[in-house]
Amino acid sequence: MSFPSSHRRARLRTLDLPRSLLLLLYIFALLQPTRQASVFGERSLSTLSSDAISHLVSTPDPVKNVDPANSASHLSKILIPRPPDTENNTIVRTYIVSTLKALKWDVEEDNFIGETPYGSKNFTNVIATKDASASRRVILAAHFDSKFFATYPQNQFVGATDSAAPCAMMLDLAEALDPLLNQRKQRLEDGLEDDEDVADTTLQLVFFDGEEAFRDWTATDSVYGARHLAERWSTTYISPHTKRRLLRPSETEISTVEHLILLDLLGAPHPLIRSAFLDTAWLFDAMVSVERRLFDNGAFVYGNDQASSLTSFFLARHKGDGNYGYIEDDHVPFLRKGVSVLHIIASPFPRVWHTLGDDASALDIPTMRRWNLILRVFMSEYLALQPETKASRSDDQSSFESHRPVAHSELSLT
């Protein structure tokens, strides 16, 4: 898979520029064409019934894992300063690893040494796979490190949106989908899955270390973990003696990635997410559709949030939209190796970005709750999971209303 050399990109993350200039650069970036190649194209996704959606909305409680007021929540365990190669970084990594090992996921700690402006540093990505014997996987990812600052008080930076909250959402998703993934595996083994290809795609969570630049964002001072992992996976051939099913000969690890879905800068109220890549525009539209159906189901009614109309997290696409420019992040090393990417990042960035204000006070519980619900339903439909429904409880009927493709015209044209 080749990548066009004329490819242009926008690097917006760490330019030390006024916001107005950032916005101008962003608009400029929108005009730049980008392209990506993938062997896994558009396919139809299942559509969950409103009954199945209701089950996912309530089980497990979609707030407890992202509640900063609860010191036992996943979020609270992550919400400490955690730059790479520090004791706190290890504490957070150990927490993520033990949470996923408790669910009996296959957990790998990908340790390496990288050269930074402050000398050699130890980095460790965490890769958690539900079913290591599956032939393919869809990756949900975020970075768990927080940005390094040399002096007090900036070194107390906890990166609540960047990216503690997305990491907590990923752990919430693992907990919510784990029993459904077990049931799907049982159906596959019992020969009850009509689409074995989809049923053999597993969920993998990647927690990147070293996303942040130590000084200024450059090609060599940023995305340390992602660069290491993309390189390693693209040069690792899967042995024919592997226990993995349905593999063609000489496949690399990276070629078995269907999509990389990267979360960043989420958890603050009123995010705006844009579709960055044409080849995953259909996935973007599917996520927009999930949000709409959750709203129609009354799932976003929470606390004082009784909105009678939906203010979407997503910027609707329009017919004839080209590729947008993209914001540099952990996906770039994978994109360059042909991986198909869905980048879920708030742009404009949260106003507290890279300031001490990016702490628990920047987070909004109804917003994080909505993200948890969107991810639960979206990944369930992607992976053809079947949440329990009243019908399945009473007479074991399928929880699917239909198997129809998501029609873009229904989703994106306004």
Copy the structure tokens of residue 335: 């994109």
Q: What is the amino acid identity at position 302?
A: Y
Minimum Å gap between C-beta 368 and Zn ion is: 18
Q: Residue 280 CB: number of other CB atoms within 10 A?
A: 22
Within 289-348, the residues that bind Zn ion by CB under 5 A are none
Chain Cα centroid distance, residue 199: 20
Site string for Zn ion, 126-165 (x = CB under 5 A): ------------------------------------x---
Minimum Å gap between C-beta 149 and Zn ion is: 11
Count of residues interacting with Zn ion (CB under 5 A) = 1
Minimum Å gap between C-beta 147 and Zn ion is: 5
Distance, CA of 269 to CA of 371 (rounded, Å): 11
Smallest Cα–Cα separation from 124: which of 225, 204, 219?
A: 225
Q: Which is nearer to Zn ion, 4 or 357 (CB)?
A: 357
- Give yes or no for a contact between 373 and 174, defined as CB atoms under 8 angstroms apart: no
Smallest Cα–Cα separation from 162: which of 120, 208, 206?
A: 208
CA atoms within 13 A on the CB side of 287: 25
Handedness of CA 14, 16, 18, 20 (dihedral sign): negative
Q: Which is nearer to Zn ion, 285 or 330 (CB)?
A: 330
Q: Residue 269 CB: number of other CB atoms within 10 A?
A: 13
- Give yes or no for a contact between 260 and 275, defined as CB atoms under 8 angstroms apart: no
Q: Which is nearer to Zn ion, 162 or 175 (CB)?
A: 162
Q: Which is nearer to Zn ion, 146 or 399 (CB)?
A: 146
Q: Which is nearer to Zn ion, 212 or 291 (CB)?
A: 212
Number of residues that make up the chain:
414
What residue number has its CB nearest to Zn ion?
A: 162
Minimum Å gap between C-beta 121 and Zn ion is: 17
Q: Angle CA(405)–CA(37)–CA(384) in degrees, nearest 5?
A: 30
Q: Angle CA(166)–CA(172)–CA(176) in degrees, nearest 5?
A: 145
Q: Which is nearer to Zn ion, 45 or 327 (CB)?
A: 327
Active site residues: 211, 264
Site string for Zn ion, 363-382 (x = CB under 5 A): --------------------
Report how far apart, in Å, the C-alpha atoms of 246 and of each of 134, 181, 186, 260 are: 8, 19, 18, 21
Minimum Å gap between C-beta 395 and Zn ion is: 50
Minimum Å gap between C-beta 16 and Zn ion is: 13
Binding status of residue 200 toward Zn ion by CB under 5 A: no
Edge-to-edge order in the sheet of strand 341-345: 106-116, 119-129, 201-208, 136-143, 257-264, 341-345
Q: Site residues (CB under 5 A) for Zn ion?
A: 162
